[in-house]
A and B are shown apart, each in its own frame.
Chain A
Amino acid sequence: MKELSNSVAIVGVDESDEMGTLPHVSQLSLHLQAIHNAVTDAGLKVSDIDGIFTAGQHSPALLGEALGITPRYVDGTTVGGCSFIMMVGHAVAALHHGLCDVAVISHGESGRSGTGVTRNRDTSLSGQFEMPYGFGGAPTYFGMITNRHMYEYGTTLENWADVAVSTRAWAGLNPKAKFRDPITVQDVLDSPPLFYPFNLLNICLVTDAGGAVVLTRADRAKDCAKKPVYVRGAGEGTEHTLVTNMTDIPHSKATALSGNKAFEMAGVTHSDFDHIMLYDAFTSGPPMMLESLGFCKPGEGVTFFEDGKSTPGGTLPINTNGGGLSYTHSGMYGIFPIIEAVRQQRGECGDRQVPGAKLSLVNGMGGMLSAAGTIVLSHER
């Protein structure tokens, strides 16, 4: 993939018209709003799209039908919330080889209201071996990995609370964020206990939201409306679906694999990044992702969130949109950190703009660190 580095650019990004609690908007409409908005952001037309990439309940064929277009390339990889991040790499390959010319990656999920939704989650293993014991839903699994991290490395509830506090501080600067009032470590510790080690403020929002990303080859990107943001690297991996089969808890093999591939393709190393987006369904996720990506030794990921390092004005800004914890989280969050990284690279983030941001990392998980996608983005080639 190294020769494909910088060959493709992200030229359009946007969310659905609204995000939050939207019982009046179907899941399909969230997709279509986001696609229309992102294509407009790119200065393109819906009829320019000839590649559709989407994860979740609605197939790319359904989106093509709804848009009234006949895509010549589709991808429906569905391995959890990171699928959209993986699809950036898939789109790079498809565009590079001329399998399509304008690719859209689309997410729409009525995660809170369930409007226009049919529930069809695969529970063929969890239904047999986990649900009889009261498991069901991410908060009853991710805490297993988190508690093991606390046992192995002595990390604390205060460490995870630091992540919530830092992320909320960013949300305060993002007009689109759902929760914007500042919180303290004590607020997190005092919030209602749900699934130890998680209190309410350790867990992401549940919203209705859509998001879309438009990509094209670098030569064509120059003719689009906004400054191109180049895909310098992309990588992916999967390890397991059942947490019991995650080999080296809390180390994520999938995350490490995706990061190594993305960094190698981009020709960059950890210290090159000045902006980081990590999938924060839970406060413990980002520190563990930094560890698995090799930013630090195991157990030391929490230090990135201490002493204001990751917060506005800090030395390494992390989750500048306010994250799944405070901005929005529809269920499969992975499209949103891509959108934020592109906006940071364009320099259009207003109060939360990371000054001079040149290299963004986007890493996300699917399931319980079961799958992972990593991309490296820059406005410089």
Chain B
Amino acid sequence: METELQRPLPTPMTPEAMPYWDGLREGKLMLPKCGDCDTPFFFPRIICPHCHSRNIGWMQASGKGTLYSFQIAYRALNPHFKIPPPYVLAMVELEEGPRIMSNLINIEADPAVVKIGMAVEVVYEKQTDEVTIPLFQPAS
């Protein structure tokens, strides 16, 4: 029997983002990167937002970054998100440059504890056989 999902699954998963989702399933954080100007970016798309080249490849990110900003959610807005509040909504700036949204876990969800600028590292959380998502925790 499948355990009940605690989070809404990513929907829709787009064809151009499949290397991102494939990587996560294998425990890798992959970022799209321009083959011409060498700049990684997020979200995955078929054109470089920096130089507008269509020569797009992929790179493996280190999984390290800093907490760029955060919010503490004291209630859920989405009925499919079942993790009990409070929890930390996190904007992470990856070492490679791009920012992504995630959760900061393994920390008390308290604005007196969570600090912008703190070092964070990726943790992979399997949702289904197809879907693994990147979460972040304070860097060890």
Partner of B71, one of A123, A130, A136, A195: A195
* Bound Cα distance from A249 to B91, whole angstroms: 12
Shortest Cβ gap from B44 to chain A (Å): 9
Partner of B74, one of A136, A137, A148, A194: A194
Contact count A vs B, C-beta below 8 Å: 113
Shortest Cβ gap from B33 to chain A (Å): 16
Shortest Cβ gap from B88 to chain A (Å): 9
A117 on interface, CB distance cutoff 8 Å: no
B107 on interface, CB distance cutoff 8 Å: no
Q: Hey, what's the 0/1 contact readout for B61-72 against A, CB within 8 Å counting as 1?
A: 000000011111
Q: Decide: B77 and A139 in contact? CB cutoff 8 A.
A: yes
Shortest Cβ gap from A289 to chain B (Å): 18
Q: Decide: B71 and A133 in contact? CB cutoff 8 A.
A: no
Q: Decide: A127 and B71 in contact? CB cutoff 8 A.
A: no
Q: Hey, what's the 0/1 contact readout for A108-136 against B, CB within 8 Å counting as 1?
A: 00000000000000011101111111111
Residue of A nearest to B76 (CB): A134
**Cβ–Cβ < 8 Å partners of A143 in chain B:** 71, 89
Q: Decide: B111 and A124 in contact? CB cutoff 8 A.
A: no
A46 on interface, CB distance cutoff 8 Å: no
Partner of A134, one of B9, B81, B100: B81
Q: Decide: A140 and B71 in contact? CB cutoff 8 A.
A: yes
Q: Decide: A128 and B69 in contact? CB cutoff 8 A.
A: no
A144 on interface, CB distance cutoff 8 Å: yes
Q: Decide: A144 and B14 in contact? CB cutoff 8 A.
A: no
Shortest Cβ gap from B46 to chain A (Å): 14
Residue of B nearest to A243 (CB): B91
Partner of B91, one of A137, A144, A196: A144
Q: Decide: A132 and B10 in contact? CB cutoff 8 A.
A: yes
Q: Decide: B133 and A132 in contact? CB cutoff 8 A.
A: yes
Q: Decide: A128 and B12 in contact? CB cutoff 8 A.
A: yes
* Bound Cα distance from A264 to B12, whole angstroms: 42
Interface size on B, residues (CB 8 A): 41
Q: Decide: A129 and B68 in contact? CB cutoff 8 A.
A: no
* Bound Cα distance from A125 to B12, whole angstroms: 8
Q: Decide: B74 and A195 in contact? CB cutoff 8 A.
A: yes
**Cβ–Cβ < 8 Å partners of A194 in chain B:** 74-75
Q: Decide: A148 and B68 in contact? CB cutoff 8 A.
A: yes
Q: Decide: A144 and B89 in contact? CB cutoff 8 A.
A: yes
Shortest Cβ gap from B6 to chain A (Å): 10
Q: Decide: A131 and B74 in contact? CB cutoff 8 A.
A: no
* Bound Cα distance from A123 to B83, whole angstroms: 21
**Cβ–Cβ < 8 Å partners of B98 in chain A:** 244
* Bound Cα distance from A134 to B74, whole angstroms: 11
**Cβ–Cβ < 8 Å partners of B127 in chain A:** 132
Shortest Cβ gap from B94 to chain A (Å): 10
A102 on interface, CB distance cutoff 8 Å: no
* Bound Cα distance from A8 to B90, whole angstroms: 46
Q: Hey, what's the 0/1 contact readout for A137-177 against B, CB within 8 Å counting as 1?
A: 10110011101100100000000000000000000000000
B11, B73, B76, B103: residue with the most chain A Cβ atoms closer than 10 Å: B73
B1 on interface, CB distance cutoff 8 Å: no
List CB contacts (< 8 Å) of B79-124 with chain A: 81, 83, 87, 89-91, 98-103, 111, 116-117
Q: Hey, what's the 0/1 contact readout for B1-40 against A, CB within 8 Å counting as 1?
A: 0000001111111100100000000000000000000000
Q: Decide: B74 and A128 in contact? CB cutoff 8 A.
A: no
Residue of A nearest to B110 (CB): A196
A242 on interface, CB distance cutoff 8 Å: yes
Shortest Cβ gap from A181 to chain B (Å): 24
**Cβ–Cβ < 8 Å partners of B90 in chain A:** 133
* Bound Cα distance from A66 to B106, whole angstroms: 55
Q: Decide: B9 and A197 in contact? CB cutoff 8 A.
A: no
* Bound Cα distance from A193 to B85, whole angstroms: 12
* Bound Cα distance from A26 to B73, whole angstroms: 32
Q: Decide: A195 and B17 in contact? CB cutoff 8 A.
A: no
Q: Decide: A244 and B99 in contact? CB cutoff 8 A.
A: yes
Shortest Cβ gap from B75 to chain A (Å): 6
* Bound Cα distance from A330 to B14, whole angstroms: 32
Q: Decide: A124 and B14 in contact? CB cutoff 8 A.
A: yes
B78 on interface, CB distance cutoff 8 Å: yes
**Cβ–Cβ < 8 Å partners of A144 in chain B:** 69-71, 89, 91
Residue of A nearest to B114 (CB): A196
**Cβ–Cβ < 8 Å partners of A195 in chain B:** 71-75, 89
6 pairs from A and B in contact (CB 8 Å cutoff): A127-B10, A129-B10, A131-B81, A140-B71, A145-B69, A195-B89
Residues on B close to A: CB < 8 A? 7-14, 17, 42-43, 49, 68-78, 81, 83, 87, 89-91, 98-103, 111, 116-117, 127, 133, 135
3 tightest A-B contacts by CB?
A196-B72, A143-B71, A244-B99
